[in-house]
Amino acid sequence: MRNSPVMDFDRSTKFSSAENLTTNQKNSLYSPEGCDLDTNDDIYTTEPMPFIQSVGNGKLVVNPRARDMLSRIEKPLVVISIAGLYRTGKSFLMNRLFGQPGFSIGGSTEANTKGIWVWCRDHPWNEEQCLVVLDSEGLGDTEKEDGINQDVHVFALAVLLSSCVVYNSWNAIDESAIQNLSLVTQMIEFIQLSRTEDDSAGNDTADDVFSPFFIWVVRDFSLSLKIEQRPCTADEYLEHALKDKPGARNLQRNEVRKKIREFFPTRKCFTLKRPVVDEEKLNNLDELPEDEFRPAFLEEVHRFIKCALGSSPVKVVNQVEITGHHFNYLAESYVSSLNNGSTPSIPSIINHIVEAEFIREKESITHNYRKKMNERLIKPMSVEELDNFSAELRSEAMKRFKRHKVLQKASNTNEMEQKLTDTLWELQVHYERENKRISKEFCSDLIKELYATINRRLNNEEYNMYGGYKAFLRDLVRLEKAYQSTPNKGPMSDQVLGEFVISLEGVKMLIRSGVEIINMELERRLSQQQGSYTVLLPWLKDSLVGSVSQFTTLCEHAVKSMSTPTTTAALTIVSNNTPKKSPSKND
């Protein structure tokens, strides 16, 4: 629960007081100092759009177009809604807050705003946040089919969805104005919070959901700010009005006051003078030049704008800063409960938001894991390298998870941590398979590259010769050495090499068989040649005339000619070197 019932605007913000505003600041309703009016057209719309609409029979529906727009907003939302009796100028204040005209301001007694309208832009004073302005249907519109029930529902939604509620009323904070807020008590009775054990132990979940910053704006205030004839501030004026009144007849009224105080523990009040003197101009305030507004009105409007923009917090549920997709879920959950006549289950909504936050965080962590692992797996890793790298990524992921304040304070933190751990282990198994696939492709390509020379020699029949089989084996040994010396082949290196060696058994057999046939033929021919020389040599010995040296020379020539298929060369030598002699009869 917040400690201070009234926000001291001058101490809690750094904005100038009304007395110190420059002339330009006083006269500029749409561009208060520091406001950047640029909007992101890729996300936001150029004008307000219906957000929650009535479809008859007391039923409400979330506009799909608005939901789609909000789902694209990833920044934390500062949500400011305005409620109050219809025809009290709520849309005028919304246009001031947003920084440009857009919400309709009508001039008849009919309410202009139906349901809840939404307009979003980057926060003018904090670009890391998104400002969401909600303009709600006026209370007490007698033309509505569903009367008080729809009033309660619309007001309930405005409060539940907001981080700041602006309540707009006329003239003074009197008993009538306070009783008009009796809708708040009806809303509280309708929306029952089933507190969890953590809530009852002091958890601020309920405050996060139900306690927006509350600003009461009193329009056309013409009284003097006094309490018992003593001057007072607007905030003191509000607190005095919300104090319990003595007497039995005030018991019910005091109950309303108590509900307001409990429901909105942080409060602020602004009293606005009548903007113009001419009543006819009241219907077209957005079209009036600035110099036609009363200076006192401009000053107080600037103070209101600066308070609302500067002091409204980010919408938070269970310490989760609400972004666009969270906001959609909140709105749809509340609308569904209201349509069904059931009470919104705040714990279940909180659980859903925590679960959605966990899913987003897990997706982000696993995306980071995949990204870094894919970058590393351009080339295969060894089993040990992949294990170590995956362990580093898991450690980094768990540190990130433990730094997430929302998830660490959830009731099922251990369960979510185990889910994340299981997911990361599943990813490691996936990348172990992927590493094997990459390793197998890399090794297969390497084998093909190294085998290309051997394959070319096979096609050219270079191994189909005497000694070809041994030459083939020598080339395979060189291939294996080159393969083994290549680094970063991954876990499939030995398997791919083994499969390759087995695939060559048939090639080895063919080469070996072919070479054996060639060797047998060569041996046969050599044997025939050796037989011819066995007959020739005795004859040469008997026929030779001369010295031993001449015989030796003849033998050397004979030996050199053994590699030829015939003995022609040897016989020629013998014929040329043997002296002519007539054979005897015995020859």
Of 224, 231, 282, 297, whose CA–CA distance to 21 is shortest?
297
pLDDT tier for residue 533 given thresholds of 50, 70 and 90: low
In the DSSP assignment, the letter for residue 409 is: T
pLDDT digits (tens, 9 = 90+) for 483-516: 999 999 999 999 999 999 999 888 888 777 766 6
pLDDT digits (tens, 9 = 90+) for 33-74: 444 445 555 788 778 899 998 887 778 899 999 999 999 998
pLDDT digits (tens, 9 = 90+) for 323-334: 998 899 889 988
pLDDT digits (tens, 9 = 90+) for 295-332: 888 888 889 999 999 999 999 887 788 999 889 988 99
Model's pTM, two decimal places? 0.65
Is pLDDT of 530 > 90? no
User: How many Cβ atoms are within 10 Å of 520's Cβ, its own excluded?
Assistant: 10
pLDDT of residue 159: 84
Of 157, 10, 194, 180, whose CA–CA distance to 81 is shortest?
157
Candidate from 48-52, 153-157, 356-360, 564-568 with smallest mean pLDDT: 564-568
Superfamily of the domain at 49-194+208-342: P-loop containing nucleotide triphosphate hydrolases (3.40.50.300)
387 or 107, which is more confident: 387
With a CB cutoff of 8 Å and minimum separation 6, the contacts of 385 are none
In contact, 377 and 435? CB cutoff 8 Å: yes
pLDDT tier for residue 20 given thresholds of 50, 70 and 90: very low
Tokens of 336: 């569904």
Tokens of 187: 């809303």
In contact, 26 and 96? CB cutoff 8 Å: no
Q: What percent of the chain has pLDDT over 90?
A: 35
Residue with tokens 């619309």: 154
Is pLDDT of 126 > 50? yes
pLDDT of residue 287: 67
Is pLDDT of 189 > 80? no
Residue ranges of the domains in the chain? 49-194+208-342, 352-437
Whole-Å CA distances, 258 to 149, 365, 463? 22, 47, 104
Alpha helices (runs of H) in 83-165, residue ranges in sequence order: 90-98, 147-161
pLDDT of residue 248: 83
- Calculate Rg over the CA atoms of the chain: 48
Candidate from 228-237, 347-356, 360-369, 469-478 with smallest mean pLDDT: 347-356
pLDDT of residue 520: 67
Q: What is the mean pLDDT of the chain?
A: 77
Candidate from 129-138, 272-281, 344-353, 566-575 with smallest mean pLDDT: 566-575
Is 528 buried (19+), middle (13-18) or exposed (0-12) by CB count in 10 A? exposed
pLDDT of residue 19: 39
pLDDT of residue 41: 58
Angle (CA) 206 270 223, round 5°: 135
User: How many Cβ atoms are within 10 Å of 280's Cβ, its own excluded?
Assistant: 8
With a CB cutoff of 8 Å and minimum separation 6, the contacts of 368 are 393, 396, 397
pLDDT tier for residue 389 given thresholds of 50, 70 and 90: very high
The mean pLDDT value for 415-436 works out to 96
The mean pLDDT value for 464-470 works out to 81
pLDDT of residue 529: 66
Residue with tokens 């695939």: 503
CA dihedral over 187, 177, 18, 264, signed as positive or negative: negative
- Can you give the three-state secondary structure of 208-256, one letter per residue? HHHCCEEEEEEECCCCCCEECCEECCHHHHHHHHCCCCCCHHHHHHHHH
